[in-house]
Structure 1
Amino acid sequence: MRMHSFDLVGKQAHFRKYYANNTALSFTLPPRTTMMGIVAAILGRPRDSYYRELAPENLKFGIGLLSPAKKSFHRLNLLKILGDSDFRGQKGRIQTPFELVMPIHPRKEDLIYRIYLAGDQDQLMDEIANQLKVRSNSYNLSLGVANFNAALRNTRLDMKVEERKELEEYISLSSAVLSDDVAALKLDKDKKIRIEEDLTPAAFIDDFDRELAAMHRIVYTTDGSKLCARLKVPHYRIDNAQTQEAFVLLD
């Protein structure tokens, strides 16, 4: 199985939760369905046409938050557009709550997400590698909302990764992990750590059909630290002079 990874960097994010079209809440990490959209934007796939191509059996994802993050609510003054005159705001604006994911110090820091890609289909993995190499995205990359621009950094192609099955050991993970794959967490009582668990959308039934086919319940840290866990499944490790990194895939 071949693996690539890249960092997605931006100032703020909003990954709308699936409860309703107008919910103000945001996931902290991009769900798998959002990561599918990011890869599709890199590949230049039309909207909603890639659900089957990037399904779990064809491409596996992992995700980690490398920078400390916080959430905060803001009010947006939205316009209700029914006609041309409404663009001038003559009928007033509607204040709408909106949850943002941001770095702790937005002026000095960035949000940094690390996305892992793994697959056996050489044609798909080659196309992803070529697009990441030339940095020529067909569509703009964003952190959930179109105007929350994101940049690609630290692209790693065909990584040398070792699969390990250490079910009795605690592993310091750089990525989120499925809750069902965690046997135990190891917490240091003298060290503060922020951990979240969330239920996120993972896959759609078919192309142009946004009905959910699967969900992921995941555990992850939100302060940029590693999650120390004993796992029920194998994990992947990169161990060289530049980095020591352990992660799992969500599929």
Structure 2
Amino acid sequence: MKCLVFDVWGDFAHYRKFYTTSSPLTFSFPPRTAITGMIAAILGIDKNDYLKYFTKDQANISIRLMNPVKKSRISYNLIDTKTAKMMSKIQNRTQVTFEILKDCAYRIYFTHNNEGLYEKMKENLYNHKSYYTLSLGLSEYIANFKFVGELDLKEEHSEDYVYIDSIIPFEKEIPVEFEINCEYFKDTLPNEMNEDREVIEYKKVIYERNCKPIKCIANNFYSVGEGEKIVFL
């Protein structure tokens, strides 16, 4: 079994948490739903259609932090474009503080059961081609990407503790050994949406803020290439 591996990075990112309103907070990394949007942008699939191609029974996606999670805050002047026909005539502005991610870098692992879509993705990654401009959450946060390679993917099973490099689902049946000098965080993210853009699955995950692997008992995990171990979301 093969897996496409590529890195995505940018200066800033924002993935708005669904429960925040006037002062938007951000997830620490793109949820699976956002990653499918990135892949669709590279492939050139319309934003109104792409969700049906990336359901969990078709696509496997995993993500690894490549830079430590750093957050800051920026104030934006939001304008009401409905109150004036010309941008220069807009008078009403509302200042809103956004929480943003800084110096972001992520490694994406991707497989798909549609061979044509998979091969097109591999070709675009290899040639550094993207149909739409890639961004990290907001359109102004432009991203770059690099093809790491098409690597061997091997499913493994273990009842002993292993180090997992990717972000992992934090479920009761996955024991985690918390180690010193590590910073662990848990979050709940949207993991899958239907074609009406309604979230049909949320998933609790755990990650180490400084990109260190997590020692846990993950009964089902995958070895990628020569050493990385991941769990699909």
TM-score for both structures, normalised by structure 1: 0.85
The number of residues matched between the two structures is: 232
What do the CA deviations read for 1:37-76 (whole angstroms, capped 9, x no partner)?
0000000011120111111111111011111122222211
1:115-143 per-position Cα deviation (integer Å, ceiling 9, x unaligned)? 11123321221121111111110000111
Within a 5 Å distance, the mapping from 1:86-235 to structure 2 comes to 87-88=87-88, 91-102=91-102, 110-157=103-150, 159-167=151-159, 169-180=160-171, 183-189=174-180, 191=181, 193-206=182-195, 209-231=196-218, 233-235=219-221
Tell me the percent identity.
26
Runs of 4+ in structure 1 deviating by more than 3 angstroms, as ranges, are 20-23
Partner of 2:84: 83
Q: Write the letter of the residue equivalent to 2:110.
A: L
Distance 1:187 1:75 in 2: 36
- Give yes or no for contact 1:72–1:100 (8 Å, CA) kept in 2: yes
Over aligned residue pairs, what C-alpha RMSD do you find?
A: 1.9
Unaligned runs of 5+ in 2: none
Question: CA offsets per residue over residues 175-219 of structure 1, 9 Å max, x none?
Answer: 111112752222233x2x12211111122222xx11112112111
Partner SS for 1:113: strand
Structure 1 unaligned runs (5+)?
Answer: 103-109
| Pairing 1:65–2:57 present | no
Compared CA separation, residues 131 and 89, structure 1 to 2 (3 A): same
Report the alpha carbon displacement of residue 246 of structure 1 after superposing the two structures with TM.
1.0
Does the 8 A contact of 1:17 with 1:23 survive in 2? Answer: no
Normalising to structure 2: TM-score of the pair? 0.91
